[in-house]
Amino acid sequence: MNDKENQIRAWTRQKPEWIPIQSGLPFLDWKAQGYDEAELERICQKHSILFPGYQPGTLRRNHQMVFEYYPDLIAGKPYTDYWGSVWETKVTGMVGAVTHHALENWDDFESFHAPDPDDNDGMRKINWKWMDKTAVSPNRDEIFFGTGLPHGHTFLRVQDLRGYVNFLCDMADEDPRIDQLLDMVCDFNVKLINRFLSYKPDCISIPEDLGMQNSPMLSVEQFRKYIAPRYDRMTKPIKEAGIIIHEHSDGYIMDLMDDIIRTGGTVINMQDLVNGINNIQKYVKGRISIDLDIDRQNITVFGTPKDIDDHIRECVSKLGAPEGGLSLTYQPWPPISPENLDAVFTAMEKYCVIDYLFR
């Protein structure tokens, strides 16, 4: 069984042979963050399951790619997205924040228009040539071909346009213009999704953050009234095509989980400690597949290698099952130590692949 088939089996709960795992170091200047790049790369080379064929120099090359392909991630250079909002970041390779909201003033709405989905995804240009090439690749049987909307496609997109406080007030006031704006954003997303569907991908992602550290960013009632109907519109054609839907949200989202599952699809990428492993086991496991986002704020940064091993074993033992329904993903950020980074990779490979607990 190759990686693609195993991934599909895991997310569709058809008895995978191992738990899919993935990780990657963000496109930072790790040397400027105080790290020895060669040491980090030796760790990646050591973990050939997570990083097959890893080549020295990858960290430096990835960082340089930011300047060519990710203009919104360049420090000191404000970036205007295709909806008209302005982004700024303090660290090259790290997502910044919106410093100018294109629709902060409703007076500008009358002349406001959505971008062209044949040209861009709202944040960046779309490389349709790459999509064309990948869709007809002779290696399609071996490559898991996924595509999707940009992060922050609906709820966060309107927040970027109006500003968070304004958006909350719009919903609280039941301002009819917020429905019009949400429909405009949703129409744009649906057009993108329909074009993605023409490629017959294995998976379409709809990622955006809905949670904070201990609560959602909006009420259950607001999500149900304003956001869930748009999610329904976006996911319906994907479900009808029988394609995997990969959802994502950082933050605490347990209060929204019933509606996320109802309007979503196959798998949800969610955070472990923020939502609680026991909560996820009790209220999510078996209802939708879980692409678990391993903690990068607490245990993996401040714990010991044993703490990390114990945590990942707990995640796998409580959320995994012989039929599948679990994958693990991890994205390390400073100030994690190289020792702890190695411990995370070791535990992921051990409990998910080498000593797969449900074999």
Helix axis angle for 305-319 and 338-349, nearest 10°, is: 30
Distance CA 42, CA 139 (A): 29
Any residues with CB less than 8 A from the CB of 250 and at least 6 apart, and which? Answer: 209, 211, 271, 274, 293
Per-residue pLDDT of the chain (359 residues), as tens digits, is 899 999 999 999 999 999 999 999 999 999 999 999 999 999 999 999 999 999 999 999 999 999 999 999 999 999 999 999 999 999 999 999 999 999 999 999 999 999 999 999 999 999 999 999 999 999 898 999 999 999 999 999 999 999 999 999 999 999 999 999 999 999 999 999 999 999 999 999 999 999 999 999 999 999 999 999 999 999 999 999 999 999 999 999 999 999 999 998 899 999 999 999 999 999 999 999 999 999 999 999 999 999 999 999 999 999 999 999 999 999 999 999 999 999 999 999 999 999 998 87
Structural domain that includes position 246: 3-354
In a domain, 272, yes or no: yes
CATH at residue 279 = 3.20.20.210
Provide the number of structural domains found in the chain.
Answer: 1
- Residue 38 covered by a domain: yes
Angle between helices 37-46 and 58-69 (to 10 degrees): 110
Residue carrying structure tokens 């994502």: 248
Asked if residues 104 and 65 have their Cβ atoms less than 8 Å apart, the reply is: no
Q: For the residues of 161-185, what is the DSSP string, one character each?
A: HH-HHHHHHHHHHT-HHHHHHHHHH
In a domain, 359, yes or no: no
Asked if the structure places residue 97 within a domain, the reply is yes
Q: Is residue 227 part of a domain?
A: yes
Say what the pTM is.
Answer: 0.96
User: Is 79 inside any structural domain?
Assistant: yes
Residue 313: inside a domain: yes
What pLDDT does residue 55 have?
96
Which of these, 181, 186, 187, lies nearest to 108 by C-alpha position? Answer: 181
Residue 71 domain flag: yes
